[in-house]
């Protein structure tokens, strides 16, 4: 069967389904009353809605930036304090957060060595702050909720790198030790 024959057969089947005989004329309603046309007022309304949406989105972005900035500001490092004192001071400020593991984007795997000898491996975005590691440990390990701890990379404390990204702190594909204070 040729393409034209297939189309003709499909049209005939369609017409049978609608109880239309092939010799009946088909009326096409092209009355414009059934259609809604956009006039200039509608375009202006749409533009004003779009502008207010854009303003709302920008406002939300600004709020998110402010929250991020506030979060960073609450973890100012006092150079006169020892690492242990910093960990104890900040422990109450850390949230116990276990976010879903990222499935896309630029990620890195971090291995955590726990005080009991166990190991945990988890993926993070390289743009995540070091603070996210502290929050993850506090949210993942029951003992870390109540007991101040530090994270160490090659025996170097990460408490003073809270506002750096994992990339900036050179922590991509690292093994990090969890040490209770």
Q: What pLDDT score was predicted for residue 12?
A: 78
Structural domains of the chain sorted by starting position, each given as residue range(s) with its CATH number in brackets: 83-180 (3.10.20.90)
Q: What pLDDT score was predicted for residue 115?
A: 92
Q: Assign 66 a pLDDT band (cuts: 50, 70, 90).
A: low
Residue 88 has pLDDT above 60, yes or no: yes
Nearest one of 96, 77, 100 to 162, comparing CA atoms: 77
Residue 20 has pLDDT above 60, yes or no: no
pLDDT in tens, 30-61: 565 556 666 666 666 666 666 766 677 777 77
């Amino acid at each position: 069967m040729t393409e034209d024959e297939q189309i003709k057969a499909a049209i005939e089947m369609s017409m049978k389904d609608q109880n239309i005989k092939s010799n009946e004329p088909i009326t096409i309603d092209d009355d414009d009353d059934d259609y809604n046309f956009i006039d200039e007022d509608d375009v202006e309304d749409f533009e004003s809605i779009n502008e207010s949406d854009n303003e709302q989105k920008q406002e939300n972005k600004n709020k998110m930036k402010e929250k991020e900035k506030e979060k960073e500001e609450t973890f100012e490092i006092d150079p006169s304090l020892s690492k242990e004192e910093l960990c104890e001071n900040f422990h109450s400020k850390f949230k116990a957060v276990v976010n879903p593991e990222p499935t896309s984007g630029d990620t890195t795997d971090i291995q955590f060595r726990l005080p009991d000898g166990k190991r945990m491996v988890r993926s993070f975005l390289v743009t995540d702050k070091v603070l996210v590691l502290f929050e993850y440990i506090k949210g993942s390990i029951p003992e870390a909720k109540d007991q101040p701890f530090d994270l160490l990379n090659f025996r170097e404390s990460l408490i003073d790198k809270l506002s750096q990204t994992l990339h900036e702190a050179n922590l991509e594909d690292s093994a990090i030790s969890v040490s209770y204070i």
